Chains A and B, each alone.
Chain A
């Protein structure tokens, strides 16, 4: 069995946000414009949370990429009345756009606040739409969406492997954010495979789950060691 997972090394994340743009480019995420963004309706599937610790001049900044945690016990799933979001056999927290009726219940119940909603139909004035990824649907208004772990790349990777009559190897499938990261702070793969890179990262003593005490069993593992990065005294 496969359980797709991701590990993010916070010690390597510089907050450069290349992943955020890569994600938007890969997944046809609409830009909502200044007015809508002001209302809090920006649609990034991946955000870099920034927190400060300490006070000037000994202030320390921490960055934390937050995306859908692809929970093993996802709070968003049971509340959807139409099964538009569910847990797929490969451990993805699936989001089926064509099934979604837009109750937004899932988003309310997401402890990570990572779900975003299409308040309006996406607008890609020509020829910006030439860039749209044909493997990803453009979501209509009224539909919830979120990070899919680049499911189109997962499917394409499996298809490619099947075409070549082999198994999917670790590293075959890379998410857009992972691929763009200049510091290689993100790795992606099968958590069930003990030899995969992501499994090894996940076993690091620095590994932790975001809001782990909720026991949502995230598929995203964070790595952070703090001693070196403590504020100067």
Chain B
């Protein structure tokens, strides 16, 4: 049932963020005379600078691995990851609720406690970003229903300290390929609306 990573997908590619073009991979797939000229000419022009996916700096150095090892599950904090449209972030109250008992003196935990006291939200940096300009409405629970595991898109967060992006989730070609291979809808309106 579980479909983790579609076959034939190169993993961990270096890609530019954002709405980037991907001439190279296309070339691998469809290297006929059909598009040869265009690859050389236009794709190069349209290709943006390639860079590694940056790991954003978080206001609090949250350690995923420690929490998972302590027995928490992803959905404990990201409550909507399986049942909701958005995975969501835990409320400050929820963090503080546990940490009132657990290591309340840890310097990073102190930041949470302070935020809770001041009734201030915490501004977490997004790790996996689909730009607003793409106008994509991703639905977590539809993917969970289909048996797609978290790590397919997010990588093995359980072994990370601060979450890092492992895959450019803004790469539409990747989405479409997976959809086609799993016979999910390839209608534009499935995501864009």
Contacts and interface: CB of A to CB of B under 8 A. Distances in A.
Interface of A: 86, 88-90, 92, 94, 96-99, 135-137, 139-140, 148, 151-152, 155, 159, 162-163
A94 B189 contact: yes
Given A88-B187, A97-B192, A137-B135, 20 more contacts: A86-B188, A90-B187, A92-B189, A94-B188, A96-B189, A98-B133, A98-B136, A98-B192, A99-B188, A99-B192, A135-B137, A136-B193, A137-B132, A137-B137, A137-B192, A140-B133, A148-B193, A155-B139, A155-B193, A162-B142
Interface in B153-193: 185, 187-190, 192-193
Contacts of B85: 159
B67 interface: no
B145 interface: yes
8 cross-chain pairs, A with B, having the tightest CB-CB distances, nearest first = A137-B135, A98-B135, A96-B188, A96-B192, A94-B189, A88-B187, A97-B135, A151-B193
A25 B12 CA distance: 42
A137 B107 CA distance: 39
B135 A152 contact: no
Contacts of B187: 88-90, 94
A155 to B, nearest CB: 7
Contact of B141 (A135, A148, A151, A163): A163
A166 to B, nearest CB: 13
Contacts of A139: 135
A117 B50 CA distance: 34
8 contacts: A88-B189, A98-B135, A99-B192, A137-B193, A151-B189, A155-B139, A155-B189, A155-B193
Nearest to A140: B133
Interface string B135-149: 111010110010000
A159 B132 CA distance: 22
Interface of B: 85, 132-137, 139, 141-142, 145, 185, 187-190, 192-193
A155 B190 contact: yes
Contacts of B137: 135, 137, 152, 155
Contacts of A137: 132, 135, 137, 192-193
A136 B136 CA distance: 9
B79 to A, nearest CB: 15
A159 B193 CA distance: 15
Contacts of A96: 188-189, 192
Nearest to A94: B189
Contact of B145 (A97, A99, A155, A162): A162
B80 to A, nearest CB: 12
Contacts of A92: 189
A61 to B, nearest CB: 36
Contacts of A98: 133-136, 192
B87 to A, nearest CB: 14
A140 B136 CA distance: 14
A159 B139 contact: yes
Contacts of A136: 193
Given A98-B134, A137-B135, A137-B137, A152 B193 contact: yes
A180 B55 CA distance: 46
A177 B132 CA distance: 27
A99 B191 CA distance: 12
A137 B142 CA distance: 19
Nearest to A98: B135
A135 B85 CA distance: 10
